[in-house]
Structure formats: C-alpha cells, structure tokens
Structure 1
Amino acid sequence: MSEQNRGKAKKRGVVMQVEDIQICVVMVGLPARGKSLIAQKAQRYLRWLSVDANVFNVGNYRRDANPQPTADFFDTSNAEGERMRRAAAEAAVTDMLKWFKGGGTVGILDATNSTKERRRWIKERCDAEGIETLYVESKCDDEDLIMSNILEVKTTSPDYVGQDPETAAQDFRKRIRNYEKVYQTIDEDENDLTYVKIMNVGKQVIINRIQDYLQSRVVYYLMNLHIKPRSIWLSRHGESQYNETGQIGGDAELSANGEMYSRKLPKMVRDSVGDDRPLTVWTSTLKRTISTAKHLPKEYNQLQWKALDELDAGVCDGLTYAEIEEQYPEDFKARDDDKYNYRYRGGESYRDVVIRLEPIIMELERSEDILIITHQAVLRCIYAYFMKKSQEDSPWMAVPLHTLIKLTPRAYGTEEQRYKANIPAVSTWRSKGSVAKHEDAPPDDAQSI
C-alpha cells in the first residue's frame, strides 16, 4: 500500500478498507491474446462486487485521430504512427489518473504495453500519484487459439467495421508481426513489479509480489478465466403453483403450464446450441428447478447448487406482496426504497445473494457449455454480472418465465439472444409500490431481465 493511502487510513483512524487502495491494472500482451476480453471481464466482476472499476482502452483514444488504420500504422518505422500512438497512451493514462482523483478504485489500462520502457513509464506516473500497479500479461503460443481470436474477435473490432472479414484478418496478422518486432515479455529485469502472467489461457499462471487483499482478489479471479469463445444459457424454472397464487419463496411444484415448459425446453436448448453437443446443467436444490430440467437429455450432466436457491424471504416466505404490505408496511416501503440492500427479516438481500453467488461465477468463468435453471432474483444477479447492470437497476429487471436466454461474452460486450416458449405464464414482475402479481407488467420487449 502506498504511503499516501496509509496516511489517509491513519487520519481516519479506521481499519483499512478495500476502497482505501487504488490500483492500476496494466494489461500486457501481443494483439489477439485476449487482453480486452480479460479487461472487460475484470471490470464487470469488480463492479458486480461493488468495487468502482473502469477500463481505459488506449485503442479508443487512438481511434479519435485514426479510426481505421492499416497494419502499416503500427510499424515502428512509421514515425507519425508512433507519435499518435504515444499521444493516445498519454491521454488514456492522464484520464485514468483524473478518474482516480475522483475516487475510482481499480483502473484497467487496456493496451499492448509491449516494451519495458512503456511499462516503467506507467509505473512512474502511477507511483507519483500513490496508485499501486498490477501488470497482467496474457501470453499465448497456441496458434489455433490465436487464429480463433483473430477471426472471432478482431474482425468485429471497431478498427474493421464494414470490412471483409478475411481482408481484416490478413491485415491484423500483419499488425501482430509489427508488434512482435519490439515486444518484450515481463522477465527477471522487472522483478520489482507486481504482476501475473497468464500462459495459454490459464494453463500456467506466474504470480510475483502480490501485496494486498484487493490485488489478491483480482488475481484469483484472473486465474479462473478462460478466453475461448463460448455461450451460457439461462432460464427460470417453469411456472410454479406459487407463481399462480402470487406467493413468494417456498418450494412449490410446477403448475400445468410450468410442466409444459419443462417438456419444451430440450428442443429450445438444442435449437439455440445449434448442434448436439451436451451441456452441463446447473439447478438449485428446489423442486421447481429440478422438475424443469427433468426432460433434458440423459447425456446432460446435472448438478444441484444450494448457492442457486432463490433469495431467502425470511418471515415473508410464502406470502403475497399484498400480504407483506399489510403485515410489514415499513419493510415493504424500505425494500422499495433500496431493494438491492434491503434484507428480509430473517432472510437475505440482493447484496447477500451476490456474495453467495461469487463461487458460482468463478466456476462459470472457467467452464464451458453451461445451462443454468434457477430463480428470478438469482438470475437477475447473474444476468447483471454479464450485462454490467447497475445495483440500482438489477433488482427491478424483468425476468420472464418460459424464456431461454443465451449469452455470448465478446471482447467488446456480451451478446444476448432470447427464445420464447410461447407457453402462457403469469408475470411475477412488479414495479415500485405495486402488490398485485399482474400489476404493471413490463412489455414483452423489455430489455431488462
């Protein structure tokens, strides 16, 4: 921890908190090594855990002056290209340091940062402001993975919008060769740096000089990442008998409509996957999710997670919202005022659910081909993680019954597709202040699960 931050803590006379530490995470690596995807994932993970994090992508600053350069722009013999790229890096670092002064906690500098000179310059700038630096180098010599990144990721980069994919891929290969001429991996000359080196998508991880809790949390998360293209499928359980009566919580059986959804789900999954590869299915331990999964093919391995159980409503379990408003009017209002942090008497808050879901997120990040069948509040938290939804908005998002959601993480965001079963179900969404199960139902095209 920097002397500046130690001073802040001593003046307050309190035990050190995560927010007292500020870290610049410096991405390092050749193009097509998954740096931007890692940066975006780290940002959304930290924000999901209530840590203020922001990505500063040097490429975005460079695009202000040169939006679609050819590979020759990145040749070190191109003096004008070198000047413009240096200016972009300086602008990004300057903006990041201003953001830190405004109270930011983790700034992620997304660039190749190819040379020891550039990395040392960043450290000196951060040291002068009392900001810790953590270098994250993504290295890969797996040609299949590199080509996959070139074709799957970089041909959708803003640098190649509207261009022929094969032409773009050829230009990007040339860009990589230009970077290879000057690239210097982190080695023993930089042993004073705090760094983590991720080799071939996590097959080997090297860690050096990790200093505090927040750095450890970031590194632990990075150790569980893979950057191979994949999708995750999400679904609520089929409509339950409690859904029909407007009661919350419980361990009810499926309704007749819910049973219809469980029978239709296997075809919906196969159609969305696009082939016959089996998925691993995660459900909660409650009957309505297990029953929803029961007609999926036998080759689908099914696992039950207690962590995926619905938000615990405590003394309100089994009540309708109208009954909660009548019996606990102060609690009903308090939950509407701050739904993310409100904790049911004897139960949980959305913040509590996020904490218990962290191991699920870790396992999800290192897994492939997962279908999760769970509950409304839990799905809201998982969806918020992938789609970078705010804590204020996530508890109010509409998560319709009888809908399969396919999420595909990309370097520049997460793609979403929805598949509706067209099987009737009640709306369990409510707006602030409402009590009836059908009241204020959102439109079908609401982008708010």
Structure 2
Amino acid sequence: MTNSPTLIVMIGLPARGKTYMSKKLTRYLNWIGVPTKVFNLGVYRREAVKSYKSYDFFRHDNEEAMKIRKHCALVALQDVKIYLNEEGGQIAVFDATNTTRERRDLILNFVKENAYKVFFVESVCDDPDVIAANILEVKVSSPDYPEAHRERVMDDFLKRIECYKVTYQPLDPEGYDKDLSFIQVMNVGRRFLVNRVQDYIQSKIVYYLMNIHVHSHSIYLCRHGESDHNMQGRIGGDSELSPRGKQFAAALRGFIEEHGLSDLKVWTSQLRRTIQTAEALGVPYEQWKILNEIDAGVCEEMTYEMIQSTFPEEFALRDQDKYHYRYPGGESYQDLVQRLEPVIMELERQGNVLVVCHQAVMRCLLAYFLDKSADDLPYLKCPLHTVLKLTPVAYGCKVELFYLNVEAVNTHRDRPLVSQPLMTFLPSLASVCSQSVPNCLVLCFSVVAHMKCFPRVFYSHTFDCSPRKLCTFVLS
C-alpha cells in the first residue's frame, strides 16, 4: 500500500493523547494490511534510566539528562531503520514529545538519509479538564510512578509539563513548517488543521484521525439468532431464524432492557436472519449492506462436507491461508476487512451501538478492537447466542461476554493442522493419476504452486512418473 516506508512523528506536550493516538492508528493500519509498529521513546528512556525520581529529569538545563534523552531518541530511530529496512515494516510511529525544532530537524535528516516519507501528527490541547483526566487515567498507572499517590503523581506530572513548555515550539503552518506534511489535532478532535498531504496512506491517516473521538461508549457485538442454515451446517445464503434463533432474539430484548440501554443504536445487515433478530428488540434499527456475511461465491449454501467433496482443491487452499483465500466468485476475509472499514469509522464516532451481524463480519470487527493479526482473525471464536461488550479504555479495549442461555449449534471450525490441506487433494489426485500421467503432473504442480513449503524440493526432484509414485511424492 506504500511505495516507500513512512515515519509518522508525534508532537505535543505530555498528557495530550499522543500515545493513545499512536496505538489506535497503529492498530488501524495493521488491520487494513499495512505493517506498522510504534516506537515509544518513554520505553527507551526507562531502559536507560532504571528509576525515575522526579520532573527534574525533564528540565532543559539538566545537561546530563538532555544527553540521555537525545541518545534514547537516536537508539529508537535506529530501531525504526531496522524495522523499515529489514523486518518488512511499511510504517513506523515515533511516539515522543518532539516539541523542539532541533529534535524535529534531527528526525528530518534521518528521514532524508534513508529515503523515507514523513508525516507529523501534533496534538494540541489547552483544556485543563481533558489534561487532568488524561493524567489520572493513564499516568497514575505509568511505570514512572509505581505505588505513588494520586496527588503526588498529579503534582509531579504537571511540573513535568511545565518543563516541556519552556522549550515547546509548535508547528508553524504559515512559516517555518509550511512545507511539511502534517495534521494538527486541537482539543481531542474539536478542530483540525491539515497541511500538504502527499500520498494515499497519509490521506488514510488523516481520515482516521478525524474520525476517532475520545468519549465513553460501549460497542455490543452479536451474531443473529441461530438460522435454519446453521442447523443444516450450510454457509451463506439468506435463511430465516430457527425456533431457537427466535428464542435468542427474545432473550436479546430482555438483555437490552435489563442493562438499561434505552439510547442504544442497532445496526443489522440486509439479510433476513439479522433483521428478524433486530425486529424482536422493539427498537429502531438500521440495515447496512456492508454488514452482510462474507460472500462464499460458488460455495454459497453448501456444507463444508459438500465443498470438500465438490471443490477439494478450493477447500484445501482455504485451509492453508484462510485470511487471503477468496471463494471463486466470492470474497476473502481480506476483502471483507476493506468492505467493513466505513463501519469501523462510524463505530469510532458513535455512542452505544449494538451490531447484529454474522460470524465472519464479527471476526473482522473483533480483530480491529482486540488488535488481532490477519493470521488469527479467521479463527476468532464468535459463538451464536452470545453478546460481546467492548468498551474502549486508555490503550486498549475491555471485553465482557454475556451468554444468553439459549442453546445453539457450534459453527466454529478450528485452525487445521499444518499437514491437513494436502490430504484433501488425495481423492482427486488419485482419480486423475489413474487416468493420465501428464494430467497427474499438472495437478501435482498445481498443488505445490499453492503450497507454502518445499517448492524447491518439488521442482528439483527426479520423478518416477508412475501414478503411484507421484501420489507418494506429493504425500511426502
């Protein structure tokens, strides 16, 4: 997605939400498939100085501390270089105050030497209530203040902020910094100033930062009630609720009433099983087409046994790489993530929301909030007749699970064993090989071209072209 590595540089006084934005932005970029990592300068500083004593460390006239802080910044930038040049990273987020032009010029020289792109994110906040709330929510539990009293933490941290204010040089969009690419976020998103966005990924960053809002809310995720297709083991389709699915819908209404969620917004897909679930709630709901279940293409309304029998190669390929595999004529989980991006943006902006959705859709949404990798995403457990309550907190997400006591079938498929995908090819391979050795060779090469292991061994092998030997080789 990026044609050259990008360094995102945070700017701002302490307690302005820089780490909060860094972590959320990194989670979002990884979710949409852009390898991203945060480099928090506080971590490097705590490695260099094992015990924090007081705000005196951050005084601009503390020469020894200033040397340590600059050294930590240089070490962090070297780690950024390793990540972007050697470890496959595309974006690094340098999470530090970076409040002086001298420090930012050092970073700009580093970027120029390594041919990276750079984008600055400055958080400006002069609302004392927001600052105090941030200190109490995040800094009290900081490693800098083990077992400290709230009053002492607040006093020391406010003095630390004053140390930074002495040398703080905000970005100057009309003068010194007019040629830089950046966004200024004022008072946690009340106002924005965007300057010289250079490429697609920078526009994505701006779009995301303009949509996240720091407010207290919860997101409720659940699947529709059990459907007729669920009971038959079929995927996709547009079937109706089973009797137990209707019981769940009634139980879900009781759950909403019991928890006093009168202001709850309810979203569904445009498929009957989610709509029937929402209709039982007795509240208004919105239908979103982009919340429809993953499109299984030619495999729609088939059971997994039918797919394995009818399309053995497709069945095996999906087990190999479930996230990237695309059903013929359908979608992959990767496609689904791209489709659901507008939903994430809306969830970040809204108050309390209940999303009545589908297994694959719920997995994608959960992976965003829980920071799960693409490899883990397709195997997240999202059982029927269970509600997940997600409450964003300082640097993560609190998860609560509510089972509504209505039985349902288990639609979860565990991650297959490594050797399992190849075994799926054997019936078709044996059948083809019994008819024609050339056809068998074509199928064997087709198999191995899609496998992630041993391709060189396969291609360099000297074959005994009897069908039995070819089957034996593919097995080995």
Q: Same fold (TM over 0.5)?
A: yes
Other-structure match for 2:98? 113
Other-structure match for 2:397? 414
The alignment's TM-score, normalised by the length of structure 1, stands at 0.86
Q: Distance in 2 between matches of 1:432 and 1:369?
A: 33
Q: Distance in 1 between matches of 2:103 and 2:216?
A: 30
How much does 1:93 deviate? Answer: 1.2
The alignment-based identity, stated in percent, is 46
Where do 1:327-406 residues align within 5 Å? 327-406=310-389
Q: Deviations over 1:172-208 (max 9, x none)?
A: 3332232222222111221121111111222221111
Q: Distance in 2 between matches of 1:75 and 1:251?
A: 65
How much does 1:167 deviate? Answer: 3.8
1:139 is aligned with what amino acid?
V
Other-structure match for 1:128? 113
Q: Distance in 1 between matches of 2:255 and 2:51?
A: 40
Higher RCO (CA-CA < 8 Å; seq separation 6+): 1
Q: Distance in 2 between matches of 1:270 and 1:175?
A: 47
Do residues 91 (structure 1) and 75 (structure 2) align?
A: yes
Cα pair 1:36 1:411 within 8 Å, conserved: no
Other-structure match for 2:456? none
Task: Please state whether the residue corresponding to 2:122 is helix, strand or coil.
Answer: strand
Q: Distance in 2 between matches of 1:166 and 1:420?
A: 41
Does the C-alpha gap of structure 1 residues 383 and 92 become closer, same or farther in structure 2, counting only changes over 3 Å?
A: same
Does the C-alpha gap of structure 1 residues 429 and 166 become closer, same or farther in structure 2, counting only changes over 3 Å?
A: farther
Q: Deviations over 1:288-333 (max 9, x none)?
A: 21222234463xx522110000001122111111111111111111
Do residues 278 (structure 1) and 278 (structure 2) align?
A: no
How much does 1:113 deviate? Answer: 0.9
Cα pair 2:137 2:394 within 8 Å, conserved: no
Cα pair 1:24 1:131 within 8 Å, conserved: yes
Give 5+ residue unaligned stretches, structure 2: 421-476
Q: Deviations over 1:344-402 (max 9, x none)?
A: 12211111111111111122222232221111001111111122211111112211112
Q: Distance in 1 between matches of 2:340 and 2:156?
A: 42
Q: Distance in 1 between matches of 2:67 and 2:244?
A: 64
Other-structure match for 2:471? none
How much does 1:170 deviate? Answer: 3.6
How much does 1:257 deviate? Answer: 2.2
Task: Please state whether the residue corresponding to 2:285 is helix, strand or coil.
Answer: strand
How much does 1:423 deviate? Answer: 2.1
Q: Distance in 1 between matches of 2:358 and 2:188?
A: 32
Task: Please state whether the residue corresponding to 1:177 is helix, strand or coil.
Answer: helix
Give 5+ residue unaligned stretches, structure 1: 1-17, 436-449
Further displaced range: 221-230 or 235-244 = 221-230
Cα pair 1:282 1:373 within 8 Å, conserved: yes
Aligned Cα root-mean-square deviation (Å): 2.2
Q: Deviations over 1:198-246 (max 9, x none)?
A: 1122222111121122222222222222233433221111222211121
Does the C-alpha gap of structure 1 residues 279 and 149 become closer, same or farther in structure 2, counting only changes over 3 Å?
A: farther
Do residues 242 (structure 1) and 226 (structure 2) align?
A: no
1:203 is aligned with what amino acid?
R
Q: Distance in 2 between matches of 1:392 and 1:117?
A: 41
Do residues 218 (structure 1) and 205 (structure 2) align?
A: yes
Do residues 33 (structure 1) and 16 (structure 2) align?
A: yes
Cα pair 1:384 1:390 within 8 Å, conserved: yes
How much does 1:432 deviate? Answer: 4.5
Of residues 145, 153, 166 in structure 2, which corresponds to 1:181? Answer: 166
Does the C-alpha gap of structure 1 residues 22 and 67 become closer, same or farther in structure 2, counting only changes over 3 Å?
A: farther
Q: Deviations over 1:1-49 (max 9, x none)?
A: xxxxxxxxxxxxxxxxx34211100001112221111111111111112
1:258 is aligned with what amino acid?
G
Other-structure match for 1:172? 157
How much does 1:433 deviate? Answer: 5.4
Do residues 55 (structure 1) and 38 (structure 2) align?
A: yes
Cα pair 2:211 2:348 within 8 Å, conserved: yes
How much does 1:53 deviate? Answer: 0.8
Task: Please state whether the residue corresponding to 1:198 is helix, strand or coil.
Answer: strand
Cα pair 1:268 1:404 within 8 Å, conserved: no
Cα pair 1:139 1:198 within 8 Å, conserved: yes
Cα pair 1:37 1:227 within 8 Å, conserved: no
Cα pair 2:2 2:201 within 8 Å, conserved: no
How much does 1:412 deviate? Answer: 2.8
How much does 1:146 deviate? Answer: 2.3
Where do 1:425-444 residues align within 5 Å? 425-432=408-415
Task: Please state whether the residue corresponding to 1:83 is helix, strand or coil.
Answer: helix
Other-structure match for 2:214? 227
Cα pair 1:136 1:197 within 8 Å, conserved: yes
Q: Deviations over 1:142-162 (max 9, x none)?
A: 333223222223333333454
Task: Please state whether the residue corresponding to 2:330 is helix, strand or coil.
Answer: coil
Further displaced range: 19-28 or 289-298 = 289-298
2:322 is aligned with what amino acid?
K
How much does 1:106 deviate? Answer: 0.7
How much does 1:267 deviate? Answer: 4.4
How much does 1:261 deviate? Answer: 2.0
Q: Distance in 1 between matches of 2:258 and 2:396?
A: 23
2:298 is aligned with what amino acid?
V
Do residues 191 (structure 1) and 178 (structure 2) align?
A: yes
Does the C-alpha gap of structure 1 residues 287 and 154 become closer, same or farther in structure 2, counting only changes over 3 Å?
A: farther
1:374 is aligned with what amino acid?
C
Cα pair 1:40 1:411 within 8 Å, conserved: no
The alignment's TM-score, normalised by the length of structure 2, stands at 0.81
Of residues 78, 82, 106 in structure 1, which corresponds to 2:66? Answer: 82
Q: Distance in 1 between matches of 2:101 and 2:67?
A: 18
Q: Distance in 2 between matches of 1:127 and 1:283?
A: 48
Tell me the matched-pair count.
414
Other-structure match for 1:147? 132
Does the C-alpha gap of structure 1 residues 276 and 430 become closer, same or farther in structure 2, counting only changes over 3 Å?
A: closer
How much does 1:68 deviate? Answer: 4.5
